[in-house]
Structure 1
Amino acid sequence: MEVEKIRKVSFTGPIMPDGGSFGSPKVYAAGIPAVKVALEHALKEMGLKRSVLTLSKLNQQEGIDCPGCAWPDPEKRSPLGEFCENGVKAIAEEATNQRVDPAFFEKYSVEEMASWSDYQIGKSGRITHPMVLRPGSLHYQAISWAEAFDLIAEELHGLDHPDEAVFYTSGRSSNEAAFLYGLFIRAFGTNNMPDCSNMCHESSGVALTETLGIGKGSVTLEDMYLADVVMILGQNPGTNHPRMLSALEKCKGNGGKIISINPLKEAGLVRFKNPQEIIGMIGQGTGLTDLYLQVKINQDVALLKLILKKLYHKELQESGIFDWEFIQEKTQGVEAFLEDLKRYSSEELLRSCGLDEEQVDEAVEIIAAGKKLIICWAMGLTQHKNGVDNIQECVNLLLLKGSIGKPGAGTCPVRGHSNVQGDRTVGITHHVSPRLNAAYQRVFNFIPPTKVGLDVVHAIQAMHEKKAKIFVALGGNFLSAASDTHYTGAALQNCRLTVQISTKLNRSHLVTGKTALILPSLGRTEQDLEGGAKRYITVENSMGRVHRSQGRLQPASDQLKSEPAIIATMAKAYFKDTGSIDWEALGEDYDLIREKIAQVFGGFEDYSERSAGAGFDLPNNSREADFSSLPGGKAHFTRCQLPNHQLTNAKYLLMSIRSHDQFNTTIYGLNDRYRGVKMERRVLFMNPQDVAEEGLKKMDVVDLISKYDGQIRKAENFLIFPYDIPQGNLAAYFPETNVLVPIHHFADKSHTPISKSIEVDILPKPNSQ
């Protein structure tokens, strides 16, 4: 009997520093350097002709929607280019001239490729053909589309129960693809639909749904211009969504004030040099933040409670600080909330957040004077055990100010991937909604499953325990994005089959089940033709507007299929000629998909027609200050708890962050220009006093250790970089630090991993000190 070969693949790639250097952090974002770096990336990856063709249409009406962040486009688009530096990097990554073809896979084994860095893997290029990795083999081989779909269908039919399959969704997929994917999964018989939102903004969705009746933000882009005060918490827009800086610049120009709350002082929140204006190119640019509060990691609730207590005291003295008419007409629970606020000691809250009282008092004065308040946040609030409470404390402040449902005010969770919000809107959710199930039954004549499905962390656990046996991913780099890398890698290897619908090579293609498939799809930049006619897809931006995206480039290979076509053909292969759904028609006709979306979900009437031009806004009860769907018919105040960071098992609290040269797990380069890091990713940002007390110095090498549930996890070989960060706090890049995040520790209610508050110790290497 032949013994199956065991693939010895690295779950993380190299763990040695690249030997970079550290300089001084920048004091502004964008400007000439951003233009220079963007053009260098575009020309290197795409060449001049393709660069002009893509960038001239990027984020223009009915052009190419940027596959990077979900920040909305203004009504009036800039003729100089409606994009940012990192948007260009995202486009350049997808539209690269590099190719990963069958000869590439014949040359390189999965073991060898897994030894490469994530940067090297990603730079390999676009995948051109469907590929299969057979049991025991170390090399992918080409496979026909028909054979690939037959293999998937056979494996799915071989399961004992549909719940033994897991179907993951990345936020870059279109509304059409996500809807078809969710339809297939439900028709197959499971709600196992983990998606990237589980790892990032799930806490926002839970918090906002409970308090305001909708899991989305309430503001529009125009509201950002009109705000009296914008509070930005746990967010680095200069890197993660740079076009937000233009909106903040307009807010400042209209007299608005900006309060930034973040452990690290980020250049993009300090000053912005708009590359589309003379003052941004040769002048000093615009100072953005009026007050920068470098709160300790995950002490935002402590800070907000202190601000709320001081505002309440001020209200009792002066009145007019709170909007009592709004509170009485639109909210419930304010008495219990204010009574609960009295339980907290101002002195203890101040110690917890690690700020000077004068700074807090200044914040109170700014907020008290403003009538229109917007609060923006990102993963710095959501990826904690108390992530839901973090957001709900923000909602409490907005409700007291009456800053929901009026121009220039409201909630603004800033989403990452370009359509992560749209995926959820059109049905990608592991939760069960009787109303949604009834709509599927009415429109498609089948009974959807009623058992709650698996989210990301519980899907990983199920695969690790061999309860889930097939894993299908619509985009993304699941292994590198998820927590507890070694646990997740072992979970994927336990599967009988793993399927990746992808555009580019990533580490999840190398750490696989016994059999693995790569199904190469069209990217946003590429023409999608059916019968010679050009098709378009639609997406939903971070503020709830749906609009078109249409590629312009020739596809990287004639073997590529669109995501809707892949999903429809996969469903057709599984169901054959049974069932009531015409999968073939749906895969060919995107207008038909949009027609079905409109029949299932409200707000999509005349979908195809209304998606033209600037698109259309979906209904948003919070934007209208209509809370009638909530219990009691009003918005809810919440009594939030302080985080419990006693650090009984460790000395430091670590947060994972992005480099300026990455988007999620995609590594564009090895520089973090704004923070002063050059050609390095294994970096530990550490308070200078902590560095001295540890007997360390700049560039010393240390390991990071986390201890949870009796298990020790280690991230090796990080270079010390003394940095302006609160004492007792550390920061380092993901995915390198994901190995430290315990799979069984996540946010209450939302199950989002605790990637921004990991308890760790530092272990100096022998050659340090």
Structure 2
Amino acid sequence: MTGSFIGKKSSAAGGWGALKSCGKRLLESGSPLAGARTMLKANQPDGFDCPGCAWGDPEHGSSFEFCENGVKAISWEATEKCATPAFFAANTVSELRKLSDYELELNGRLTHPMRYDAASDRYLPVAWEDAFAEIGGILKGLDSPDRAEFYTSGRASNETAYLYQLFVRVYGTNNFPDCSNMCHEASGVALKQAIGVGKGTVLLEDFEKADAIFVIGQNPGTNHPRMLGDLRRAAMRGADVVVFNPVREKGLERFSDPQDKIEMLRGGSTEIASQYYQPRLGGDMAAVRGMAKAVFAAEDEAIAAGEPSVLDHAFIAEHCAGFAEYRAAIDATGWAEIEDQSGLSRAEIERAAAVYMKAGKVICTWAMGVTQHAHSVATIREISNFMFLRGNVGRQGAGLCPVRGHSNVQGDRTVGINEKPPAAFLDALEKHFAFNVPRADGHNVLAAIGAMLDGSAQAFIGLGGNFARATPDSTLVETAMRRMKLTVNIATKPNHSHLMPGEVSYILPCLGRTEMDLNSLGNSQLVTVEDSMSMVHGSAGINRPASPHLLSEVGIIAGIAEATVGTDVVRWAALADDYDLIRDHIEATIPGFENFNARVRKPRGFHLRNTASHREWTTPAGKACFSAVTLPQETVHQRARNGVGRFALQTFRSHDQYNTTVYGLDDRYRGVYGERQVIFIHPEDLKDIGAEAGDRMDVVTDYDDGISRVAQDFRFVPYDIPRGSIAGYYPELNVLVPLGSAGEESDTPTSKSIMVSFRKREAA
């Protein structure tokens, strides 16, 4: 892309750069004053939940509970630009397909339901009742409900997600490919095995009490910036923040809080990480095992010297199973193996372990830098092991904290978006609604794509998100989408998934989180979400809808459901007109939601009880379970160095995007401006392949399945990253991620462990 350049990186996350960016986004929305008023209601008890990340809201509240990325998300949604029927009349789908993700979504909010017309290669407006009738007719005409795939994005509210799963199960399938399949699935699987519940065990207030916080495979500055405020406050009161991340990320080094007037006036910032380690890609498990090995060594020395134990033997004896086996696994793992796989020295790992042993209360957080590897479940089990050693689960100021991405990705799973639903939940649905609930496991994302490719799936409905761009193996997914008899996308803005139409294809525009959702009596409807700390709180939009033709997500699901399965089991229209009724059904079928309608109307909502937080372990053993698996035989980083010119690639976000939504082309924390097709690489690696900063090459996947995967025309950016590891942005690099490369037990695409090489650019 012409006009791109490498510029100065921010000296700290946040600060004046964040304020300038906020102002720019509000101006671009077309109504900066209205946008500013909207922001004051973000994450407030009488306002709406930010449609961005799932970081928690403080119990005590503050004047402002939004961040730079929240401003971007809200101004992106509240823009005055509109993609009307005139926009689609002026552009064929083939023409729109040439636009980048950024250029396409710049056209603004969808305003009318649209149906694809193959003859003109354009989307044409359609009446809602006609859309529902045809969609329902096609779904009813399939020879099996299992021929349809029902995707869910984590932006959907609890009420929407519950109604969606209810409709699909009345229809007769458990095919729920979900965005969580591509991000924190490993966290849910591993934590369920380790502590009996697939969620984190901490509250936001625990960050105020922790003596040390370990941040592993996570970049809060870009992905959940409000977390930086909590890390900053922890660092300022003397807590240690220990970071493990292959890439040097500005937000984990220093943060200037835009809400701190003195710090802003002085141009100051606060150091976040007291220790910062850069493991090789895939080396986190080895690093954590090394810390555990150091803890055991210190324990042995303490016992020999007659000093107090380092381990919490009382916790281990009363609450844990498998300790002896884990100790044996630690003893069998040598330092040479740990150092080689992690890329860290023994001395570095022991320094990090010393922080853990000194701290009375420890929190460990992680995100997709941990969850998108082949051995992610094993890594999270290892993190759990490490935290068990000193009883850092189930008490104040300590615990396990997977930090989710989208605002309600955790809530969607809680209310039933699950291709492998618990039997107890299905039993509750069957009893409460009196219908035969499907029991067979359904499809996750990778299974759904496979079914679409082999023809066994014939219909796809996407509740939010941008399925085709979020998923791996982009070229294959486009092929799969276009083979469908029916594709339906429920969305707020046009995106590339809409440009891969099946035989019949609909775009159904919905209300955004910031917009008023009025029922037939003109009353504002409340929806709810669940954050990363299992807090459930209400959200009510305050803005006028972008178009009078929009329906809520709940209304759209109800319309499709009634046209497909009728009203014998559920009166869909009644639920769409009164979300309190949906919450009554949630209360009746899901534990923890007692008095749902009353509790959610209290400021900050309520907490869903986490048994592990109370040291009640719902594992088969009835205790917290140590895992004694060995380290991976070989990580992608270790395999890559066995060949000439091969590298381990991870994909990640720029600072100007959220998931597949690209707000702009700058990444000021990494010093990249005006371009997204870049590869971050160590300067010595660049020299070894005979290239220089700014050179452009194609990136090629090294995967033995006979499929050619190439990302064309990417520019090298020298960066502080381990040798042999490289990084770049998704969704542009998703084309390189093979469908066949997935996490063990989680089936999550290995987007942080891709073997690649470079070749000269192909001629245009």
1:464-498 CA-to-partner distances (Å, cap 9, x unmatched) read 11110000010000000000000111010110110
Task: Kindly report which structure 2 residues correspond to 1:103-502, keeping only aligned pairs within 5 A, or say none.
Answer: 103-283=86-266, 284-318=268-302, 319-502=308-491
Letter in 1 for 2:728: A
- The answer as to whether partners of 1:231 and 1:259 remain within 8 angstroms in 2 is yes
Deviation (angstroms), 1:766? 7.9
Q: Are 1:690 and 2:680 matched, yes or no?
A: no
Asked if the contact 1:470–1:497 (Cα under 8 Å) also holds between the matched residues in 2, the reply is yes
Q: 1:18 to 1:387 in 2, by over 3 A?
A: farther
Report the secondary structure of 1:580's partner residue.
coil
Match of 1:581 among 570, 593, 597: 570
Superposition misfits of 4+ residues, deviation over 6 angstroms: none
Does residue 675 of structure 1 match 2:658? no
* Contact 2:26/2:36 (<8 A) preserved: no
Residue 543 in structure 1 maps to residue 533 in structure 2: yes
Aligned to 2:612, what secondary structure does the other structure show? coil
| Paired letter, 2:707 | Q
**Partner Cα distance (2:382, 2:432) in 1:** 40
Q: Which stretch has the larger CA shift, 50-59 or 503-512? A: 50-59
Match for residue 646 of structure 2 among 642, 648, 651 = 651
What CA deviation, in whole Å up to 9, does each residue of 1:18-47 have, x standing for no partner? Answer: 441113433310011101111110122141
Structure 2 stretches of 5 or more lacking a match? Answer: 303-307
Counterpart-to-counterpart distance in 1, 2:66 and 2:196: 33
Deviation sequence 1:381-436 (CA, Å, 0-9, x none): 00011111111110000011100000010010000000000000000000032211
1:755 aligns with 2:751: yes
Aligned match for 1:738, one of 720, 734, 748: 734
Q: 1:357 to 1:129 in 2, by over 3 A?
A: same
Deviates more, 1:351-360 or 1:537-546: 351-360
Amino acid at match of 1:756: K
Distance 1:670 1:640 in 2: 43
| Local SS of the residue matching 1:529 | coil
**Residues in 2 aligned to 1:48 and 1:690: alpha-carbon distance in whole angstroms:** 45
Q: How many residues align?
A: 748
Taking a change above 3 Å as real, the CA distance of residues 18 and 513 of structure 1, as seen in their structure-2 partners, is: farther
- Given residue 229 of structure 1, which amino acid in structure 2 is its aligned partner? A
1:27 to 6, 11, 15: 11
CA distance in 2, matches of 1:580, 1:243: 43
Shift of 1:208: 0.3
Look up the SS of the partner of 1:653 in the other structure: strand
Question: Partner letter of residue 146 of structure 1?
Answer: E
CA RMSD in angstroms, aligned pairs only: 1.3
CA contact (8 A) 1:321 1:369 kept: no
Matches within 5 A, 1:97-108: 97-108=80-91
- d(CA) in 2 for partners of 1:40 and 1:765? 35
Could you tell me how far apart the structure 1 residues matched to 2:11 and 2:371 are?
Answer: 27
Contact 2:335 / 2:346 at 8 angstroms: preserved in 1?
A: no
> Quick check: 1:62–1:547 contact (8 Å CA) kept in 2?
no
Is the CA contact 1:670–1:679 (under 8 Å) kept in the aligned structure 2?
yes
Query: Does the 8 Å contact 1:229/1:373 carry over to 2?
Result: yes
**Residue 516 of structure 1: aligned partner:** 505
The equivalent of 2:305 in structure 1 is none
Q: Which moved more, 1:107-116 or 1:243-252?
A: 243-252
Structure 1 residue 136, shift from structure 2 partner: 4.2
Q: CA deviation at 1:550?
A: 0.5
Separation in 2, partners of 1:622, 1:272 = 32
TM-score (norm 2): 0.96
Do the aligned residues in 1 keep the contact of 2:329 with 2:630 (CA within 8 Å)?
Answer: no
Q: Does 1:91 align with 2:80?
A: no
- How big is the shift at 1:361? 2.1
Bigger shift: 421-430 or 647-656? Answer: 647-656
Within the candidate set 706, 712, 724, 1:716 is matched to 712
Residue 585 of structure 1 deviates from its aligned partner by 1.0
Counterpart amino acid of 1:40? K
Q: Report how far residue 307 of structure 1 moved.
A: 1.2
1:765 Cα offset (Å): 3.3
SS at match of 2:611: coil
The whole-number CA distance in structure 2 between the counterparts of 1:67 and 1:280 is: 28
Aligned to 1:533: 523
- Offset, 1:619: 1.2
1:74-126 deviations in whole A, cap 9, x for unaligned?
123322x2100010000011000000111110001110011001100111100
Conserved 8 A contact 1:706-1:714: yes
Does residue 561 of the first structure (1) align with residue 556 of the second (2)?
A: no
Query: Of the candidates 588, 599, 608, which is equivalent to residue 599 of structure 1?
Result: 588
Moved more, 338-347 or 350-359: 350-359
1:625 to partner: Cα distance: 1.2
For 1:281 and 1:268, the matched residues in 2 are separated by 16
The worse-fitting range, judged by mean Cα deviation, of 312-321 and 463-472 is 312-321
- Partners in 1 of 2:30 and 2:184 — Cα distance? 32
Cα distance in 2 for partners of 1:19, 1:85 equals: 25
Q: How far apart are residue 253 of structure 1 and its match?
A: 2.7
- One-letter amino acid of the structure 1 residue matched with residue 752 of structure 2: K
Give the whole-Å Cα distance in 2 for the aligned partners of 1:384 and 1:304.
Answer: 15
For 1:737 and 1:333, how far apart are their aligned partners in 2? 41
Structure 2 residue identity aligned to 1:754 = T
The reply on whether 1:620 has 2:610 as its aligned counterpart is yes
Change (3 A) 1:449 1:137: farther
Q: Note the C-alpha offset of 1:157.
A: 1.1
Residue 61 (1) aligns with residue 51 (2):
no
Deviation at 1:555, TM superposition (A): 0.4
**Alignment partner of 1:632 is 2:615:** no
3-state SS of 1:674 partner? coil
What is the SS of the residue equivalent to 1:633? coil
Which one-letter code corresponds to 2:715 in the other structure?
A: L
Between the aligned partners of 1:53 and 1:651, the Cα distance in structure 2 is 51
The one-letter amino acid paired with 2:210 is A
